[in-house]
């Protein structure tokens, strides 16, 4: 059963920040490739939500959270999501080498 996909405001803000970073640092072509990689990964997760890894963070805000890598070559960027009923909510998007328990509870950067 394919889940409907919902992108949280935090996810959209994280995406915009990462997209701008790629555009500024690597050029518009790479930023567009990043956009396509995220756009290709999300429906795949909605169709197969168990592909992701269940996270076991202690903070109550991070319960029931899963993560999955964006498609290559952007696979160091993780999509954090939850499944509620028939919806997959893409909640955050960030580099996997960050201090995840701390960064995930902070609001997205401007």
User: Token digits for 77?
Assistant: 């960027």
Cα–Cα distance measured from residue 40 to residue 50, given in angstroms and rounded to the nearest whole number: 16
Query: Residues 12, 17, 19, CA angle at the centre, nearest 5°?
Result: 90
Cα–Cα distance measured from residue 28 to residue 47, given in angstroms and rounded to the nearest whole number: 29
Domain 4-95: CATH architecture, name and number where available? 2-Layer Sandwich (3.30)
User: Token digits for 108?
Assistant: 């997205």
pLDDT value at residue 110: 60
The reported pTM is: 0.92
CB 2 within 8 A of CB 47: yes
Q: Where are the domains of the chain?
A: 4-95
Among 107, 24, 33, 29, residue whose Cα is nearest residue 77 = 33
Mean pLDDT (10-residue bins), the chain, 110 residues? 92 96 96 97 94 92 93 95 95 88 81
pLDDT value at residue 39: 97
């Amino acid at each position: 059963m394919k889940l409907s996909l919902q992108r949280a405001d935090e996810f959209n803000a994280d995406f915009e920040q990462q997209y701008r970073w790629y555009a500024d640092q690597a050029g518009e072509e790479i930023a567009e490739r990043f956009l396509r990689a995220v756009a290709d990964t999300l429906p795949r997760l909605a169709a197969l939500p168990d592909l992701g890894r269940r996270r076991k963070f202690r903070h109550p805000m991070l319960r029931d959270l899963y993560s999955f890598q964006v498609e290559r070559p952007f696979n160091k960027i993780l999509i954090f999501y939850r499944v509620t009923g028939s919806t997959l909510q893409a909640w955050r998007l960030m580099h996997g080498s960050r201090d995840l328990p701390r960064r995930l509870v902070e609001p997205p950067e401007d």
